Amino acid sequence: MNNDCEITPTKTAVVDWRNADFFQDVVSSDLQLPVEDFTILDVSVANATEKTAGYMSLMHRVTLQVQVHERKATSSATGESQLKRLSFIVKEKSEKAFGGEMVDMMRAFPKEMEVYATMLPAFEKLWEDVGDKVKFGPRVFKVTSTPFTVIVMEDLKPTGYRMKECNAGLSQQDCETVLQKLAKFHAASVVYHEQNGPYPDDFKDGMFSEGLIAEFEQYYAPLFDSYLQALGELRYPAQIIEALKPMRGKIYSKASHLFKLDPAKFNVLNHGDVWINNIQFNDHDLLLLDYQISFYGSPSFDLLYFIINSASLDVRTEKFDHLIDHYHRHLVEGMQKLNAKTSIPSLQELHADIQAHGFLVCVTSMEGLAMMLAMPDLELDMDLLGSMEPAGVEFRRKLFTNARFVKMIEKLMPFMWEKGFLVDGME
């Protein structure tokens, strides 16, 4: 993010953002020109992502045709104005997106605005001060909260950033690269906490919150029942099925309890949703997107969530311990370089923390990972995923009988059992 661009929540009198007036200050910031030096000739808005991406918001790619006027003091020999084509990504809060009132309850947009406006620039400045140029996310030009809620950010596509294909999962090398960036993010978040005090209250909870149990348990209950039924039909050992049965109706509650902040432990600002669709790669770097459910707590969340959801079939289990070790090495290096005062957990302590939070692997295997593997064979419908109606039951049946899910769970279920992740889930 460009630290020269100060982002402040903007109040505007217009009732929609799809117009030239709304983008005046965006273009001014991007081109580093006063508004009188250009004219926005055209605003074109299109969907920026597939239907299955960005569940809690709508994503738009906005293309502007901008005429840059000549300046008298620096007029060119031809005396002609210059025509530029600029593109931006607009992330919009909308009742059409999945989540509805949950987006407000989770404080998704205020959180993300705070991360983009305050935290990422500060984290990047910490690294810049020790001689490293580190970028964690796209440059953000404008955020608005009234009368509509949108975030305007740079379009990464023209600069060579791309999303990896999700079904195959990431290679070991790609996973290592992501974990290196994540370690730098976590290390900076620790030093930021040291220098600025506790994170705002919005960051006390992430994807799992004890305050949302009543709302989300009813979504997870039928999902878990269908998951158990699928495991039974796949003839998994009775000891595994019996170990999971006590968790019926308590999946979300258990996960929320696991990730309740323990101030006595090592904590970081978790990205909260690090998976393959929220990572953009180019030939030399990667950026993290979507900070809507960031939270302060155990780093085990980001580590488990990323590796299980995003690593390729063999890497997520056979290289799991290696990836944790790789992250730890870079976390130690990062915290030392940033002169952190907080005690750095040992590798053994980190593995113990992973063990304590391991039930998250089961939760994510039946939701995020299952959905990712189902694409594009099954058109995802978040409402059907937790529905008790016959259409919901049939949707989940297709989800858990998908060939890629079956192949994945054949490797992941023994891994969870051997690691003790399922036994912890009963406590």
pLDDT score recorded for residue 94: 78
Distance CA 360, CA 337 (A): 31
pLDDT score recorded for residue 72: 54
CA of 386: how far to CAs of 225, 366, 383, 416, in Å? 10, 12, 6, 24
C-alpha closest to that of 396 among 408, 412, 380, 409: 380
pLDDT score recorded for residue 54: 44
Runs of H (alpha helix) within 319-402: 320-337, 347-356, 359-366, 368-374, 382-385, 390-401
Residue 254 tokens read as: 């258990």
pLDDT score recorded for residue 379: 84
Ranges assigned E (strand) in 255-317: 268-270, 279-281, 286-288, 295-297
What single-letter DSSP state applies at residue 119? I
pLDDT score recorded for residue 308: 96
- The H helix count followed by the E strand count for the chain is 18, 10
Distance CA 69, CA 31 (A): 12
**4-37: b (≥16 Cβ within 10 Å) or e:** ebebeeeeeeeeebeeeebbeebbbbbeeeeeee
Residues contacting 188, CB < 8 A, separation 6+: 122, 123, 124, 126, 127, 134, 334, 338
pLDDT score recorded for residue 99: 56
Distance CA 249, CA 254 (A): 10
What single-letter DSSP state applies at residue 33? -
Distance CA 314, CA 168 (A): 11
pLDDT score recorded for residue 115: 97
Strand partners, 152: 90, 142
Identity at 119, one-letter amino acid code:
M
pLDDT score recorded for residue 3: 43
**Helices 213-233, 359-366: inter-axial angle, 10-degree rounding:** 80
pLDDT score recorded for residue 77: 44
Residues contacting 91, CB < 8 A, separation 6+: 54, 57, 58, 59, 60, 112, 150, 151, 153
- Walk along the chain (427 residues) in steps of 10 and give the mean pLDDT of each run: 45 72 96 96 85 68 95 51 94 72 84 95 98 96 92 95 88 98 98 97 93 91 95 93 93 94 97 95 96 97 97 96 98 98 98 96 94 86 88 94 94 95 61
Q: Torsion-angle region of residue 70: left (phi > 0), alpha (psi -120 to 50) or beta?
A: beta
C-alpha atoms less than 13 angstroms from C-alpha of 95 in its C-beta half-sphere: 1
CB contact at 8 A, 273 and 293: yes
pTM for the full predicted model: 0.91
Distance CA 204, CA 6 (A): 26
CB contact at 8 A, 291 and 111: yes
Tell me how crowded residue 352 is: count the other CB atoms within 10 A of its CB.
13
pLDDT score recorded for residue 395: 95
Residues contacting 42, CB < 8 A, separation 6+: 64, 65
